[in-house]
Structure 1
Amino acid sequence: MPKSLQGLTVLVTRPAHQASRFQQLLAAEGAHAVLFPVVEICPPDDLAALTAQLVDIATYDTALFISANAVDYGLKALATPQILHHLTLGAIGKKTAQALQQHGFTAQWVPTAGFTSEDWLALPQTQQLAGRRILIFRGAGGRELLADTLRQRGATVTQVDVYQRVCPKIAVSQLKQHHEQQQLDIIAVTSSEGILNLVAMLDNPAWIKTLSLLVGSPRMRETARQAGFDGTLIMADNPSDEAMLQALIQWAQE
Protein backbone atom coordinates (compact mmCIF):
# COMPACT_ATOMS: atom_id res chain seq x y z
CA MET A 1 0.00 0.00 0.00
CA PRO A 2 1.56 3.37 -1.02
CA LYS A 3 2.33 5.85 1.74
CA SER A 4 0.36 9.10 1.99
CA LEU A 5 3.20 11.36 0.86
CA GLN A 6 5.12 8.96 -1.36
CA GLY A 7 7.52 10.83 -3.65
CA LEU A 8 6.78 14.29 -2.25
CA THR A 9 9.72 16.61 -1.57
CA VAL A 10 9.17 19.03 1.33
CA LEU A 11 11.38 21.98 2.20
CA VAL A 12 11.60 21.91 6.02
CA THR A 13 12.51 25.32 7.41
CA ARG A 14 12.38 24.72 11.17
CA PRO A 15 15.45 25.71 13.22
CA ALA A 16 18.08 22.98 12.84
CA HIS A 17 17.73 21.69 16.41
CA GLN A 18 13.95 21.32 16.03
CA ALA A 19 13.67 19.78 12.56
CA SER A 20 14.49 16.11 13.14
CA ARG A 21 11.08 14.96 14.38
CA PHE A 22 9.19 16.53 11.49
CA GLN A 23 11.73 15.00 9.13
CA GLN A 24 11.09 11.57 10.66
CA LEU A 25 7.32 11.97 10.39
CA LEU A 26 7.62 12.94 6.74
CA ALA A 27 9.89 9.97 5.99
CA ALA A 28 7.39 7.61 7.63
CA GLU A 29 4.77 8.81 5.14
CA GLY A 30 7.12 8.44 2.16
CA ALA A 31 8.16 12.08 1.72
CA HIS A 32 11.69 13.39 1.28
CA ALA A 33 12.67 16.33 3.48
CA VAL A 34 15.13 18.98 2.34
CA LEU A 35 16.40 20.74 5.46
CA PHE A 36 16.87 24.48 5.10
CA PRO A 37 16.58 26.30 8.47
CA VAL A 38 15.42 29.88 8.05
CA VAL A 39 15.62 30.83 11.74
CA GLU A 40 18.47 30.21 14.15
CA ILE A 41 17.89 30.28 17.91
CA CYS A 42 20.79 31.74 19.93
CA PRO A 43 21.43 33.01 23.47
CA PRO A 44 21.32 36.78 23.93
CA ASP A 45 24.51 38.69 23.23
CA ASP A 46 24.75 40.06 26.78
CA LEU A 47 24.45 37.08 29.13
CA ALA A 48 25.62 39.12 32.11
CA ALA A 49 22.73 41.53 31.69
CA LEU A 50 20.29 38.62 31.46
CA THR A 51 21.66 37.09 34.66
CA ALA A 52 21.27 40.41 36.43
CA GLN A 53 17.64 40.64 35.34
CA LEU A 54 16.88 37.29 36.96
CA VAL A 55 18.55 37.89 40.31
CA ASP A 56 15.28 38.95 41.99
CA ILE A 57 13.11 36.18 40.54
CA ALA A 58 12.03 35.18 44.05
CA THR A 59 10.09 38.46 44.30
CA TYR A 60 7.73 37.32 41.54
CA ASP A 61 4.75 35.03 42.06
CA THR A 62 4.18 34.05 38.42
CA ALA A 63 6.51 33.06 35.57
CA LEU A 64 5.17 32.83 32.03
CA PHE A 65 7.03 30.99 29.26
CA ILE A 66 6.27 32.00 25.68
CA SER A 67 7.68 28.93 23.93
CA ALA A 68 9.69 25.76 24.31
CA ASN A 69 12.79 27.79 23.42
CA ALA A 70 11.95 30.19 26.25
CA VAL A 71 11.86 27.20 28.60
CA ASP A 72 15.19 25.79 27.44
CA TYR A 73 17.09 29.06 27.41
CA GLY A 74 15.31 30.49 30.44
CA LEU A 75 16.22 27.55 32.66
CA LYS A 76 19.83 27.75 31.51
CA ALA A 77 19.92 31.41 32.54
CA LEU A 78 18.63 30.75 36.06
CA ALA A 79 21.25 30.18 38.75
CA THR A 80 18.77 28.06 40.71
CA PRO A 81 15.94 26.85 38.44
CA GLN A 82 14.34 25.12 41.45
CA ILE A 83 12.97 28.52 42.48
CA LEU A 84 10.28 27.99 39.83
CA HIS A 85 8.66 25.35 42.06
CA HIS A 86 7.59 28.24 44.31
CA LEU A 87 5.97 30.24 41.50
CA THR A 88 2.77 29.82 39.51
CA LEU A 89 3.92 28.80 36.04
CA GLY A 90 2.20 29.70 32.79
CA ALA A 91 2.82 28.28 29.32
CA ILE A 92 1.62 29.50 25.94
CA GLY A 93 0.31 26.24 24.55
CA LYS A 94 0.73 22.58 25.33
CA LYS A 95 4.12 22.21 23.64
CA THR A 96 5.57 24.81 25.98
CA ALA A 97 3.94 23.08 28.95
CA GLN A 98 5.46 19.78 27.81
CA ALA A 99 8.90 21.42 27.63
CA LEU A 100 8.52 22.53 31.24
CA GLN A 101 7.37 19.04 32.23
CA GLN A 102 10.47 17.52 30.67
CA HIS A 103 12.54 19.63 33.07
CA GLY A 104 10.45 18.63 36.06
CA PHE A 105 8.14 21.66 36.28
CA THR A 106 4.36 21.82 35.98
CA ALA A 107 2.59 24.73 34.31
CA GLN A 108 -0.66 25.58 36.08
CA TRP A 109 -1.91 28.21 33.62
CA VAL A 110 -2.15 26.60 30.17
CA PRO A 111 -4.90 26.96 27.55
CA THR A 112 -6.77 23.72 26.95
CA ALA A 113 -6.83 24.61 23.26
CA GLY A 114 -4.81 27.02 21.19
CA PHE A 115 -1.22 28.18 21.28
CA THR A 116 -1.32 31.98 20.99
CA SER A 117 -1.01 34.85 23.42
CA GLU A 118 -4.68 35.56 22.85
CA ASP A 119 -5.56 32.00 23.93
CA TRP A 120 -3.55 32.39 27.13
CA LEU A 121 -5.08 35.78 27.89
CA ALA A 122 -8.54 34.19 27.63
CA LEU A 123 -7.86 31.95 30.65
CA PRO A 124 -10.10 32.76 33.63
CA GLN A 125 -7.03 33.02 35.91
CA THR A 126 -5.59 35.89 33.88
CA GLN A 127 -8.56 38.24 34.03
CA GLN A 128 -8.04 39.91 37.43
CA LEU A 129 -4.36 40.34 38.25
CA ALA A 130 -4.14 43.21 40.71
CA GLY A 131 -1.07 42.70 42.90
CA ARG A 132 0.44 39.99 40.69
CA ARG A 133 4.12 40.20 39.77
CA ILE A 134 4.64 38.37 36.49
CA LEU A 135 7.95 37.54 34.84
CA ILE A 136 7.72 36.71 31.12
CA PHE A 137 10.42 34.54 29.54
CA ARG A 138 10.49 35.25 25.82
CA GLY A 139 12.60 35.77 22.70
CA ALA A 140 13.92 39.17 21.73
CA GLY A 141 11.57 41.19 19.59
CA GLY A 142 8.39 39.42 20.63
CA ARG A 143 4.96 41.03 20.53
CA GLU A 144 3.99 43.39 23.35
CA LEU A 145 0.37 42.19 23.52
CA LEU A 146 0.89 39.96 26.56
CA ALA A 147 2.72 42.47 28.70
CA ASP A 148 0.45 45.36 27.76
CA THR A 149 -2.74 43.37 28.45
CA LEU A 150 -1.48 41.97 31.75
CA ARG A 151 -0.58 45.47 32.94
CA GLN A 152 -4.04 46.69 31.98
CA ARG A 153 -5.43 43.92 34.19
CA GLY A 154 -3.43 45.13 37.19
CA ALA A 155 -0.23 43.06 37.09
CA THR A 156 3.33 44.29 37.43
CA VAL A 157 5.15 42.78 34.44
CA THR A 158 8.82 42.29 33.58
CA GLN A 159 9.95 40.73 30.31
CA VAL A 160 13.28 38.98 29.93
CA ASP A 161 14.68 38.12 26.51
CA VAL A 162 16.32 34.73 27.11
CA TYR A 163 17.05 33.98 23.46
CA GLN A 164 17.16 35.67 20.09
CA ARG A 165 16.15 34.59 16.61
CA VAL A 166 18.57 35.39 13.80
CA CYS A 167 18.63 34.73 10.09
CA PRO A 168 21.07 31.86 9.45
CA LYS A 169 24.11 32.38 7.25
CA ILE A 170 24.05 29.23 5.16
CA ALA A 171 24.74 28.45 1.52
CA VAL A 172 21.65 28.59 -0.67
CA SER A 173 23.19 26.94 -3.75
CA GLN A 174 21.83 23.49 -2.90
CA LEU A 175 18.30 24.84 -2.51
CA LYS A 176 18.51 26.61 -5.86
CA GLN A 177 19.75 23.38 -7.41
CA HIS A 178 16.74 21.48 -6.05
CA HIS A 179 14.49 24.06 -7.68
CA GLU A 180 16.30 23.95 -11.01
CA GLN A 181 15.95 20.17 -11.03
CA GLN A 182 12.25 20.48 -10.14
CA GLN A 183 12.79 18.66 -6.86
CA LEU A 184 10.75 20.91 -4.58
CA ASP A 185 7.01 20.34 -4.17
CA ILE A 186 6.10 22.39 -1.12
CA ILE A 187 7.64 24.60 1.57
CA ALA A 188 6.71 24.09 5.24
CA VAL A 189 7.16 27.23 7.36
CA THR A 190 6.27 27.61 11.04
CA SER A 191 6.71 31.34 11.70
CA SER A 192 6.07 34.65 9.97
CA GLU A 193 9.68 35.59 10.58
CA GLY A 194 10.74 32.41 8.80
CA ILE A 195 8.78 33.38 5.70
CA LEU A 196 10.50 36.76 5.51
CA ASN A 197 13.93 35.24 6.22
CA LEU A 198 13.47 32.68 3.45
CA VAL A 199 12.81 35.42 0.93
CA ALA A 200 15.77 37.48 2.18
CA MET A 201 18.18 34.53 2.21
CA LEU A 202 17.42 33.82 -1.44
CA ASP A 203 17.56 37.52 -2.38
CA ASN A 204 13.85 37.75 -3.10
CA PRO A 205 13.56 35.45 -6.14
CA ALA A 206 10.27 35.18 -8.01
CA TRP A 207 10.40 31.37 -8.23
CA ILE A 208 10.20 30.71 -4.48
CA LYS A 209 6.89 32.57 -4.33
CA THR A 210 5.25 30.31 -6.90
CA LEU A 211 5.79 27.11 -4.89
CA SER A 212 3.08 25.61 -2.69
CA LEU A 213 3.39 26.80 0.90
CA LEU A 214 2.31 25.14 4.14
CA VAL A 215 1.93 27.46 7.15
CA GLY A 216 0.76 27.03 10.73
CA SER A 217 -1.50 30.01 11.47
CA PRO A 218 -3.65 32.73 9.89
CA ARG A 219 -0.95 35.29 10.78
CA MET A 220 1.63 33.32 8.77
CA ARG A 221 -0.81 33.05 5.87
CA GLU A 222 -1.25 36.81 5.84
CA THR A 223 2.52 37.37 6.02
CA ALA A 224 3.02 35.03 3.06
CA ARG A 225 0.44 36.81 0.93
CA GLN A 226 1.89 40.21 1.80
CA ALA A 227 5.36 38.91 0.86
CA GLY A 228 4.06 37.99 -2.57
CA PHE A 229 3.53 34.23 -2.34
CA ASP A 230 0.86 33.53 -4.89
CA GLY A 231 0.98 29.73 -5.23
CA THR A 232 -1.16 27.19 -3.41
CA LEU A 233 -1.29 28.05 0.30
CA ILE A 234 -2.24 25.38 2.86
CA MET A 235 -2.86 26.25 6.50
CA ALA A 236 -2.50 23.74 9.33
CA ASP A 237 -4.49 24.06 12.55
CA ASN A 238 -1.29 25.02 14.35
CA PRO A 239 2.48 24.88 13.69
CA SER A 240 3.11 21.63 15.59
CA ASP A 241 4.75 18.74 13.72
CA GLU A 242 1.57 16.67 13.94
CA ALA A 243 -0.76 19.39 12.66
CA MET A 244 1.58 20.33 9.83
CA LEU A 245 1.85 16.68 8.78
CA GLN A 246 -1.92 16.18 8.86
CA ALA A 247 -2.52 19.27 6.71
CA LEU A 248 0.12 18.06 4.26
CA ILE A 249 -1.46 14.61 3.99
CA GLN A 250 -4.92 16.11 3.44
CA TRP A 251 -3.55 18.38 0.68
CA ALA A 252 -1.70 15.53 -1.00
CA GLN A 253 -4.85 13.40 -1.08
CA GLU A 254 -7.10 16.04 -2.59
Structure 2
Amino acid sequence: MSNKTIVITRPSGQARQLSEALLVSLRNSGFTPESTPKIIALPLLTIAPKGDGFLVEQITVALKTADLAIFVSPNAIECTMRLLECSWQELSSNPVPIGVMGGSSMLALKNHGIGAEGNHTQIILPQNNAQWDSEGLWTELQNLRWNWSTKKVIIFKGEGGRDWLADTLKNAGAQVEAFSVYARVPLDLNSSAWNEIHEMNFAKSLWLLTSSEAVRHLGGAKLPLDLATAICPHHNITDAAEHIGFGEVITCEPGDEALIAASQAWLSI
Protein backbone atom coordinates (compact mmCIF):
# COMPACT_ATOMS: atom_id res chain seq x y z
CA MET A 1 0.00 0.00 0.00
CA SER A 2 1.19 3.49 -0.87
CA ASN A 3 2.14 5.80 2.01
CA LYS A 4 -0.17 8.44 0.52
CA THR A 5 -3.75 9.00 1.71
CA ILE A 6 -6.75 10.55 -0.02
CA VAL A 7 -9.51 11.89 2.22
CA ILE A 8 -12.99 12.17 0.72
CA THR A 9 -15.11 14.57 2.75
CA ARG A 10 -18.54 14.13 1.16
CA PRO A 11 -21.60 12.67 2.94
CA SER A 12 -21.39 8.88 3.19
CA GLY A 13 -23.31 7.75 0.09
CA GLN A 14 -21.67 10.29 -2.21
CA ALA A 15 -18.25 9.54 -0.71
CA ARG A 16 -18.68 5.87 -1.52
CA GLN A 17 -19.58 6.61 -5.15
CA LEU A 18 -16.54 8.86 -5.58
CA SER A 19 -14.24 6.38 -3.82
CA GLU A 20 -15.37 3.53 -6.07
CA ALA A 21 -14.99 5.65 -9.22
CA LEU A 22 -11.52 6.78 -8.09
CA LEU A 23 -10.38 3.20 -7.44
CA VAL A 24 -11.62 2.04 -10.86
CA SER A 25 -9.81 4.92 -12.54
CA LEU A 26 -6.58 4.18 -10.66
CA ARG A 27 -6.72 0.49 -11.61
CA ASN A 28 -7.35 1.41 -15.25
CA SER A 29 -4.38 3.78 -15.12
CA GLY A 30 -2.01 1.04 -14.00
CA PHE A 31 -1.97 1.54 -10.23
CA THR A 32 -1.31 -1.71 -8.41
CA PRO A 33 -2.62 -2.60 -4.95
CA GLU A 34 0.83 -1.64 -3.64
CA SER A 35 0.86 1.77 -5.32
CA THR A 36 -2.78 2.65 -4.65
CA PRO A 37 -3.22 5.21 -1.87
CA LYS A 38 -5.32 4.58 1.19
CA ILE A 39 -8.75 6.21 0.78
CA ILE A 40 -10.51 7.49 3.90
CA ALA A 41 -14.12 8.64 3.97
CA LEU A 42 -14.65 11.52 6.40
CA PRO A 43 -18.29 12.72 6.13
CA LEU A 44 -17.86 16.25 7.43
CA LEU A 45 -21.60 16.83 6.93
CA THR A 46 -24.52 14.43 7.16
CA ILE A 47 -27.60 15.18 5.06
CA ALA A 48 -30.76 15.12 7.20
CA PRO A 49 -33.87 15.12 4.95
CA LYS A 50 -36.95 16.99 6.11
CA GLY A 51 -40.22 15.12 6.14
CA ASP A 52 -43.19 17.05 7.49
CA GLY A 53 -46.55 16.94 5.74
CA PHE A 54 -46.99 20.71 5.70
CA LEU A 55 -43.80 21.12 3.65
CA VAL A 56 -45.04 18.51 1.16
CA GLU A 57 -48.32 20.40 0.80
CA GLN A 58 -46.51 23.72 0.27
CA ILE A 59 -44.25 22.26 -2.43
CA THR A 60 -47.11 20.50 -4.20
CA VAL A 61 -49.18 23.69 -4.36
CA ALA A 62 -46.22 25.80 -5.49
CA LEU A 63 -45.29 23.44 -8.33
CA LYS A 64 -48.77 23.62 -9.85
CA THR A 65 -48.09 27.21 -10.94
CA ALA A 66 -44.28 27.12 -11.30
CA ASP A 67 -42.51 27.92 -14.56
CA LEU A 68 -39.13 26.55 -13.46
CA ALA A 69 -37.76 24.41 -10.62
CA ILE A 70 -34.09 24.63 -9.65
CA PHE A 71 -32.30 21.98 -7.62
CA VAL A 72 -29.06 23.28 -6.14
CA SER A 73 -27.52 19.82 -5.62
CA PRO A 74 -28.08 16.06 -5.93
CA ASN A 75 -29.07 16.10 -2.25
CA ALA A 76 -31.86 18.56 -3.06
CA ILE A 77 -33.15 16.20 -5.75
CA GLU A 78 -33.03 13.09 -3.57
CA CYS A 79 -34.67 14.76 -0.57
CA THR A 80 -37.39 16.41 -2.65
CA MET A 81 -38.32 13.24 -4.50
CA ARG A 82 -38.36 11.32 -1.21
CA LEU A 83 -40.71 13.94 0.22
CA LEU A 84 -43.11 13.98 -2.72
CA GLU A 85 -43.27 10.20 -3.23
CA CYS A 86 -44.53 10.51 -6.80
CA SER A 87 -43.13 11.04 -10.29
CA TRP A 88 -42.11 14.55 -11.29
CA GLN A 89 -44.70 14.71 -14.07
CA GLU A 90 -47.59 13.95 -11.70
CA LEU A 91 -47.05 17.31 -10.01
CA SER A 92 -48.29 19.54 -12.83
CA SER A 93 -50.46 19.35 -15.95
CA ASN A 94 -47.34 20.34 -17.90
CA PRO A 95 -43.91 19.05 -16.79
CA VAL A 96 -42.14 21.84 -14.92
CA PRO A 97 -38.71 22.52 -16.50
CA ILE A 98 -35.77 21.86 -14.20
CA GLY A 99 -32.50 23.74 -13.81
CA VAL A 100 -29.44 22.04 -12.30
CA MET A 101 -25.82 23.07 -11.89
CA GLY A 102 -23.78 19.96 -12.63
CA GLY A 103 -23.38 16.43 -13.89
CA SER A 104 -24.03 14.79 -10.51
CA SER A 105 -27.45 16.42 -10.41
CA MET A 106 -28.14 15.26 -13.96
CA LEU A 107 -27.35 11.72 -12.86
CA ALA A 108 -29.66 12.06 -9.85
CA LEU A 109 -32.49 13.19 -12.15
CA LYS A 110 -31.82 10.27 -14.47
CA ASN A 111 -31.99 7.86 -11.54
CA HIS A 112 -35.53 9.12 -10.93
CA GLY A 113 -36.49 8.80 -14.59
CA ILE A 114 -36.67 12.57 -15.02
CA GLY A 115 -35.85 13.73 -18.53
CA ALA A 116 -36.45 10.32 -20.10
CA GLU A 117 -40.26 10.41 -20.05
CA GLY A 118 -42.40 10.22 -23.20
CA ASN A 119 -43.29 13.91 -22.85
CA HIS A 120 -39.86 14.58 -21.47
CA THR A 121 -39.10 17.14 -18.80
CA GLN A 122 -36.87 19.96 -20.06
CA ILE A 123 -33.60 20.02 -18.13
CA ILE A 124 -31.36 23.08 -18.21
CA LEU A 125 -27.66 22.55 -17.42
CA PRO A 126 -24.59 24.72 -18.10
CA GLN A 127 -23.04 23.18 -21.22
CA ASN A 128 -19.47 23.81 -20.14
CA ASN A 129 -18.56 21.83 -17.02
CA ALA A 130 -16.18 24.65 -16.04
CA GLN A 131 -19.38 26.62 -15.36
CA TRP A 132 -21.18 24.05 -13.21
CA ASP A 133 -22.30 26.50 -10.54
CA SER A 134 -24.96 29.12 -9.84
CA GLU A 135 -23.37 31.66 -12.17
CA GLY A 136 -23.14 29.14 -14.98
CA LEU A 137 -26.79 28.13 -14.61
CA TRP A 138 -27.85 31.79 -14.66
CA THR A 139 -25.94 32.29 -17.92
CA GLU A 140 -27.78 29.29 -19.38
CA LEU A 141 -31.14 30.56 -18.13
CA GLN A 142 -30.59 33.93 -19.78
CA ASN A 143 -30.31 32.13 -23.12
CA LEU A 144 -34.00 31.21 -22.75
CA ARG A 145 -34.87 34.88 -23.36
CA TRP A 146 -37.69 34.66 -20.83
CA ASN A 147 -39.49 37.70 -19.45
CA TRP A 148 -38.64 36.96 -15.84
CA SER A 149 -41.26 39.38 -14.51
CA THR A 150 -43.90 36.86 -15.65
CA LYS A 151 -42.15 33.78 -14.25
CA LYS A 152 -42.41 31.88 -10.98
CA VAL A 153 -39.29 29.95 -9.94
CA ILE A 154 -39.09 27.32 -7.20
CA ILE A 155 -35.67 26.60 -5.67
CA PHE A 156 -34.98 23.40 -3.72
CA LYS A 157 -32.01 23.66 -1.38
CA GLY A 158 -30.57 22.83 2.01
CA GLU A 159 -30.75 25.08 5.06
CA GLY A 160 -28.34 27.97 4.66
CA GLY A 161 -26.09 27.98 1.61
CA ARG A 162 -25.63 30.59 -1.09
CA ASP A 163 -28.55 32.84 -2.06
CA TRP A 164 -26.82 34.34 -5.09
CA LEU A 165 -29.05 32.71 -7.71
CA ALA A 166 -32.28 33.44 -5.84
CA ASP A 167 -31.26 37.09 -5.43
CA THR A 168 -30.27 37.32 -9.11
CA LEU A 169 -33.62 35.90 -10.25
CA LYS A 170 -35.50 38.30 -7.97
CA ASN A 171 -33.49 41.23 -9.32
CA ALA A 172 -34.46 40.12 -12.84
CA GLY A 173 -38.13 40.34 -11.80
CA ALA A 174 -38.95 36.69 -11.14
CA GLN A 175 -41.19 35.51 -8.32
CA VAL A 176 -38.95 33.17 -6.31
CA GLU A 177 -39.96 30.69 -3.63
CA ALA A 178 -37.27 28.61 -1.92
CA PHE A 179 -37.81 25.39 0.01
CA SER A 180 -35.22 23.92 2.38
CA VAL A 181 -35.64 20.15 1.99
CA TYR A 182 -32.68 19.05 4.11
CA ALA A 183 -30.33 20.16 6.85
CA ARG A 184 -26.58 19.60 7.05
CA VAL A 185 -25.40 18.14 10.35
CA PRO A 186 -21.67 18.65 11.08
CA LEU A 187 -19.60 15.63 12.07
CA ASP A 188 -19.07 15.56 15.83
CA LEU A 189 -15.45 16.40 16.56
CA ASN A 190 -15.39 13.52 19.06
CA SER A 191 -16.64 10.97 16.53
CA SER A 192 -14.55 7.85 15.92
CA ALA A 193 -14.57 8.83 12.22
CA TRP A 194 -11.63 11.12 13.03
CA ASN A 195 -9.43 8.33 14.41
CA GLU A 196 -7.77 7.40 11.09
CA ILE A 197 -7.27 11.10 10.34
CA HIS A 198 -5.30 11.67 13.55
CA GLU A 199 -3.06 8.69 12.75
CA MET A 200 -2.17 9.52 9.13
CA ASN A 201 0.80 11.42 7.69
CA PHE A 202 -0.61 14.83 6.79
CA ALA A 203 2.34 15.65 4.55
CA LYS A 204 1.31 12.71 2.34
CA SER A 205 -2.42 13.47 2.41
CA LEU A 206 -4.75 14.83 -0.26
CA TRP A 207 -8.16 16.17 0.74
CA LEU A 208 -11.05 16.29 -1.76
CA LEU A 209 -13.20 19.22 -0.64
CA THR A 210 -16.56 19.80 -2.31
CA SER A 211 -18.45 22.02 0.16
CA SER A 212 -17.48 25.40 1.61
CA GLU A 213 -19.60 24.73 4.70
CA ALA A 214 -17.85 21.40 5.27
CA VAL A 215 -14.46 23.10 4.94
CA ARG A 216 -15.39 25.69 7.54
CA HIS A 217 -16.35 22.87 9.91
CA LEU A 218 -13.04 21.14 9.20
CA GLY A 219 -11.26 24.29 10.31
CA GLY A 220 -12.53 23.71 13.84
CA ALA A 221 -10.82 20.34 14.12
CA LYS A 222 -7.39 21.90 14.77
CA LEU A 223 -5.43 19.61 12.45
CA PRO A 224 -1.97 20.23 10.88
CA LEU A 225 -3.56 21.15 7.54
CA ASP A 226 -0.57 23.32 6.66
CA LEU A 227 1.19 20.05 5.75
CA ALA A 228 -1.65 18.79 3.56
CA THR A 229 -2.87 19.37 0.01
CA ALA A 230 -6.47 20.03 -0.98
CA ILE A 231 -8.32 19.81 -4.29
CA CYS A 232 -11.38 22.03 -4.70
CA PRO A 233 -13.78 22.16 -7.66
CA HIS A 234 -14.89 25.78 -7.12
CA HIS A 235 -13.13 29.02 -6.24
CA ASN A 236 -15.39 29.57 -3.19
CA ILE A 237 -14.26 26.24 -1.76
CA THR A 238 -10.65 27.10 -2.60
CA ASP A 239 -10.98 30.36 -0.66
CA ALA A 240 -12.40 28.47 2.33
CA ALA A 241 -9.59 25.88 2.21
CA GLU A 242 -6.92 28.58 2.08
CA HIS A 243 -8.60 30.40 4.96
CA ILE A 244 -8.39 27.36 7.30
CA GLY A 245 -4.70 26.91 6.49
CA PHE A 246 -4.15 24.17 3.91
CA GLY A 247 -0.53 24.16 2.79
CA GLU A 248 -1.37 23.72 -0.90
CA VAL A 249 -4.75 24.19 -2.56
CA ILE A 250 -5.42 23.08 -6.13
CA THR A 251 -8.52 24.27 -7.97
CA CYS A 252 -9.94 21.92 -10.59
CA GLU A 253 -13.01 22.04 -12.80
CA PRO A 254 -16.33 20.85 -11.31
CA GLY A 255 -17.39 17.22 -11.57
CA ASP A 256 -16.06 13.88 -10.34
CA GLU A 257 -14.01 13.27 -13.48
CA ALA A 258 -12.03 16.45 -12.83
CA LEU A 259 -11.54 15.55 -9.15
CA ILE A 260 -10.26 12.12 -10.13
CA ALA A 261 -7.92 13.50 -12.81
CA ALA A 262 -6.50 16.05 -10.36
CA SER A 263 -6.04 13.31 -7.75
CA GLN A 264 -4.10 11.17 -10.22
CA ALA A 265 -1.92 14.15 -11.11
CA TRP A 266 -1.10 14.63 -7.41
CA LEU A 267 -0.30 10.93 -7.01
CA SER A 268 2.15 11.04 -9.90
CA ILE A 269 4.28 13.72 -8.24
Query: Which range, TM-score by smaller chain?
Result: 0.7 to 0.9
SS of aligned partner of 2:198: helix
Cα distance 1:126–1:78, how it changes in 2: closer, same or farther (>3 A)?
Answer: farther
Among 188, 191, 200, the alignment partner of 2:208 is 188
Q: Which residue of 2 aligns with 1:18?
A: 14
Counterpart residue identity of residue 110, structure 1:
L
Task: Confirm or deny: 8 A CA contact 1:139 1:161 kept in the other structure.
Answer: yes
Whether 1:237 aligns to 2:237 is: no
Moved more, 170-179 or 111-120: 170-179
TM-score (structure 2 length as normaliser): 0.82
TM-score under structure 1 length normalisation: 0.86
For 1:150-172, what per-residue CA distance to the aligned partner results, in whole angstroms no more than 9, with x for missing partners?
Answer: 11222111000111111023222
Pairing 1:48-197 to 2, within 5 Å after superposition: 48-56=53-61, 57-81=63-87, 82-83=90-91, 86-106=95-115, 107-113=122-128, 114-123=131-140, 124-125=143-144, 128-169=147-188, 170-171=191-192, 172-179=194-201, 184-197=204-217
List structure 1 runs of 4+ shifted beyond 4 angstroms.
none
Which amino acid letter does the alignment assign opposite residue 47 of structure 1?
D
Whether the 8 Å contact between 2:203 and 2:228 is mirrored in structure 1 is no
Unpaired runs of 5+ residues, structure 1, are: none
Tell me the percent identity. Answer: 26
CA RMSD of aligned residues (A): 2.2
Q: Deviations for 1:74-118, whole angstroms, at most 9, x for unmatched residues?
A: 111125433266212211223212211221112432111221110
Partner Cα distance (2:145, 2:99) in 1: 10
Q: Cα deviation per residue 1:167-206 (whole Å; 9 max; x = unaligned)?
A: 0232223321224xx6952222111112112222x2x23x
